[in-house]
Structure 1
Amino acid sequence: MYQPSDEELKSIEAWFAEYDGLAAHGAIEKLADLAVFPMNLVTDVPGGYAAVRQWTREEYVEAMKEAMGGGTAGLGLESKRTPRFLSENLVVVETEATMTIEGQRQEMHYVDLLVRTEDGWAFQTMVQGGWGYGWPATKRG
């Protein structure tokens, strides 16, 4: 198992600090700049099946505008992130988040795959249950 250095762990924390700051202000295009496309999405659909898609940059921007609106600043978002380095260039980050919307707390649990590029870290795969409503279930080959 790859053991990241303190500097590598701090680089992931810094990446998420930048991401969170952009998300708070609804800077969707700049968030897209932090990704590698096509982006993989993995979720599930009613009935207990997985659903997998790839988004273009345009599809990501459209979906995030709908999901985030003007940003996350007023949502009382708290996140605990646990990075798990697969290698010096691949890290899976598990996030447990709590969001408060109009006094109601919602808990989210998701995973992102970050890849090291020439320009630094970028997210390439998002995994979270419950997004696939309206998507077809994934079938094997």
Structure 2
Amino acid sequence: MQQDDVRNGLFTPSAEDLAGVEAWFAEYDALAARGAVEEIAGLAVFPLNLATDVPGGFGAVRQWDREEFVRVMTEVMGGGTAGTETTSVRTPRFLTPNLVLVETEATVTVEGERQSMRYADLLVRTADGWAFQTMVQGGWGHGWPAATRG
């Protein structure tokens, strides 16, 4: 967990580091199953960065404050994900001891319909533990303006 754990410019996470990220996602998944959006918001650092794409083939980015996150995720999660069958394979890539990019490949089954997705989260280590700060997933950008350079 210390900066001196970085060798040749690359951080190699310990079993404890990996377990910490796995525990964070276990907590997140349990909260999502209950639809506990306010508690999930407590696991984030705001403003929260989002990157997605919009119809037409361009990327889009936004920042959400806590209020917007709670509003949108309450609409998305409804009463929670407990009625869905979800399998997730998460691959954490530690950039430093305090920054980890986690790619998730998930399959969700709702009423017999399967949907596969891939998304990523940037977690940052805080004094209170891991928190997500950036969410990246395609398909959320309906109605969002396309990103522009400069």
TM-score by length of 1: 0.99
Task: Give the deviation of 1:46 after TM superposition.
Answer: 1.2
CA distance in 1, matches of 2:14, 2:118: 26
User: Where does 1:47-58 land on structure 2 (aligned, <5 Å)?
Assistant: 47-58=56-67
Q: Which residue of 2 aligns with 1:5?
A: 14
Query: Quick one: which amino acid aligns to residue 2 of structure 1?
Result: F
Q: Which amino acid aligns with 1:15?
A: W
Q: Does 1:133 align with 2:142?
A: yes
2:110 paired with 1:105: no
SS state at 1:62 partner: helix
Structure 1 residue runs of 4+, over 4 Å off? none
Identity, in percent, stands at 70
Residue ranges of structure 2 left out of the alignment (5+ in a row): 1-9
1:90 & 1:58 partners in 2: Cα distance?
Answer: 25
C-alpha distance after superposition, 1:98-120 (max 9, x if no partner): 00011100001000000000100
Deviation string 1:84-139 (CA, Å, 9 cap, x unpaired) is 00000000000000000111000010000000001000000000011101100011
Question: Rg bigger for which structure?
Answer: 2
Please say if 1:28 is aligned against 2:41: no
Amino acid in structure 1 at the alignment position of 2:145: P
Structure 2 counterpart SS, 1:77 = strand
Correspondence for 2:102: 93
The residue aligned with 1:119 is 128
Query: TM-score when scaled to structure 2?
Result: 0.93
Where in structure 2 are the equivalents of 1:15-94 lying within 5 Å?
Answer: 15-94=24-103
Letter in 1 for 2:46: F
Aligned length: 141
- Tell me the CA shift for residue 48 of structure 1: 1.1
